[in-house]
Amino acid sequence: MDSVFKSGAVAALFAITALVAGPATAADLSGYRGSLKDAPPVRHYSAGPCYVRGDIGYSVSDDPDVNWPVVNERPLGSGNFFYDGDAVSNISIDNAWMGEVGIGCGSGSRGFRAEIAAGFRGEKKIDGEPIVFTGAVDDPLHTSVTSYTLMFNVYKDLGRWGRVVPYVGAGVGLSYNMIDEVYFTQNPALTNTIAGDRDVAFAWALMAGFGYQVSQRTVLDFGYRYIDFGTGKSGRVDNAGNQNPAVEVADLAAHEFKVGLRYHFGSSGPLAASYK
């Protein structure tokens, strides 16, 4: 069902783009509705200053720093727990699909845009093996993280080349990181499971991309973003009621590739040097 939803979302996005970019393009951008062979040169119109947007994309994860309790095997500390973030082997985290919606306003194709955007990244499984002081590999760790974001983004539009406007940007905001329950063996039925938890963390991002104007009010947006989601932690109580040190997942970050539509509204006017 999940794969069907993802495929359907992608198909719907491109279907909407094709519908907008077809007859709407010639009519909306030039205002001419006669024979194309007799049409005057197309004059592009700038999109309105404010917009709503929707994006879908793929979030490629960087391996995080994971600290968790393992048994200290040195004679003087046998049986004690300690954080072992500097002695970790084979940390891995999955990639995930992402979606985002936002609203913003700008000052033109050589100006600035500011927006507020809310995003979701699907569940990412995390696996890893701690290495204890003797050099032996301890029981592997398993958990997952799901992240929601609320970001304030600022973009600099770099000028117009025909219908294309490239941009760079940066954003700051909050990330709501949901760490799932944690277990430490290959089979979760054979061990106590530590409860998950939720954390709100500072998030930041750097962006680059370009918009392609497909009609007077619609822009197709292709973008790249590096985003840091901050840190998430597990709970402390396992399913036997015992207290445990929390598992910490730090430096959650990803490289994201996305495509979306911006629908602009508000007043707009013709661009003086945009004949094609």
In a domain, 224, yes or no: yes
pLDDT of residue 59: 97
Q: Residue ranges of the chain with pLDDT lower than 50?
A: 1-32, 36, 72-87, 136, 271-276
pLDDT tens readout for residues 170-182: 999 999 999 999 8
Name the strand (E) or helix (H) holding 8: helix 2-21
Residue 86 counted as domain residue: yes
Q: What is the pLDDT of residues 55-78, one digit of tens each?
A: 999 999 998 888 776 554 444 444
pLDDT at res. 139: 66
Q: What is the pLDDT of residue 77?
A: 45
Which CATH number do you get for residue 72?
Answer: 2.40.160.20
Range of the domain at 60: 2-269
Quote the pLDDT of residue 27: 42
pLDDT in tens, 6-30: 444 444 444 444 444 444 444 444 4
**What is the pLDDT, as a whole number, of residue 199?**
94
**Residue 275 belongs to some domain of the structure:** no
| Number of domains making up the chain | 1
Residue 18, pLDDT score: 44
Does 274 map to a domain?
A: no
Residue 79 region by backbone torsions, left for phi larger than 0, else alpha for psi between -120 and 50, else beta: left
Q: Report the alpha-carbon distance of residue 87 to residue 253 in Å, rounded.
A: 21
Question: Would 13 be classed as within a structural domain?
Answer: yes
- DSSP 3-state assignment of 7? helix
Contact 88, 131 (CB under 8 A): yes
Question: Which DSSP string do the residues of 121-156 spell out, in sequence order?
Answer: EEEEEEEEEEB-TTS-B-PPEEEEEEEEEEEEEEEE
